Amino acid sequence: IAIVPKSKPTTSLSLLPRNKLTMMFTAAATAALLALTASTSEAFAPSNNNAVVRSRSAQQPPLQMAYLDSLSNAPPLSFSGSSSSSSATPSTFGELLTSDDMNDLCAFNAASLDIQSTISSNGGITAAQIQESIRRANEVVSIIRQHFPGAMGSSEILERVKRVLDMYNADNILLTQSVCPDEINHEHGDITDLFIENIGGGKVFHLGGLAGVPFTGQTGFGAYSAHVADGGHAFVLQAPHIGMSNDLELGKYSRDGQDHAGSACGAAVGAMCHCMDGKPMPNLATATADWQMNFLIQEIGKRMPALNACADGNEKQAELARQTHQIGKDMLEQCLSTNFGDANSMLFVMTGIQINMPFEFEDYFQPLSFEVRMKDGSVIDLYQEAFGTW
């Protein structure tokens, strides 16, 4: 399966299936990192033949992560440009990574792309700039791990889910998604896009509204399930989302073309702010023009004790995402049914939190539940099979 993460303004990448030890990178990014192991007096310069880079990227051999550890005794480095403190410039790859070792493939990939972008833009790169790319990528992953344990890159989530589906020989699937309509949730390479192409065969039925709550309700799920092919299966993906800005603030996202970060998820944040400001609860019986938002305000209002117990900033925003996930999951449970297909049809249900990542990162996803429901009423928990422990 060829998986292409969402494109960024400065670069593109083809990301192929990987395990915990291997990953393929663009030829330019890989060359930049491996060049750190050799003595050279030349600048890291961008390739003048983009066509060659693109044609070679798919053939690049897997880069063994363990190989990086063998570079600690590499020859001295020479960098183009100048560093603000030449005496502190590392001379080997091992020194370069001192106290900033990486053990997350997405962080390594993001740092690689950032390095590639700097080289392409500036014609070279300094040791200090490489260190900053590594430090920043590690800091991003550290925040995600702290607040969303078990979160992984979207492409790894897809790989793990596909492996489970293959175990069940579930290859005739109609996909439905209950995900917030915000455009940053539906970019090329996001989990929504990857699932549509690799699980849904290019098709998807949308259940979700604001904050990923399945506002189409029982009628929406009934219409969706009626479309499942005879002998086919259903797969439901339900998730709210949360952004991380370029300033590493959760609950915000730095959108292209804007000079400031905005709320993400805006509906969830807006509902919480409504409650924190002590504004009156809306009357759902009369709030027909903005019913979804008013429903969120009502539900978030019930959960303010848990939110008020959190410190402001990233902790509160992460808790808001968890509470919003539960709101959506509770409504989803009222809608689900196995009244479709034939006696062998199965209903796969996965829920979690979609994380809109900054910089060159592919979006992450924190899986919170994954199960399959059979026609006889039995439910099999697939979470451990797919995602293990963390």
| Local mean pLDDT, 10-residue blocks, the chain (390 residues) | 40 35 37 40 37 34 35 36 41 46 82 92 92 93 96 96 96 96 95 97 97 97 96 97 97 94 97 96 90 97 97 97 98 97 96 96 97 97 89
The pLDDT score that the predictor gives to residue 96 is 47
The pLDDT score that the predictor gives to residue 159 is 96
The pLDDT score that the predictor gives to residue 344 is 94
Question: pLDDT tens for residues 249-283?
Answer: 999 999 999 999 999 999 999 999 999 999 999 99
Question: pLDDT tens for residues 191-226?
Answer: 999 999 999 999 999 999 999 999 999 999 999 999
The pLDDT score that the predictor gives to residue 104 is 82
CA-based Rg of the chain, rounded to a whole angstrom?
A: 23
Q: What are phi and psi of 203, to 5 degrees?
A: -120, 150
The pLDDT score that the predictor gives to residue 100 is 58
Token readout for 11 is 């670069």
Token readout for 131 is 């260190």
The pLDDT score that the predictor gives to residue 83 is 38
* pTM for the whole structure: 0.77
Q: What is the mean pLDDT of the chain?
A: 80
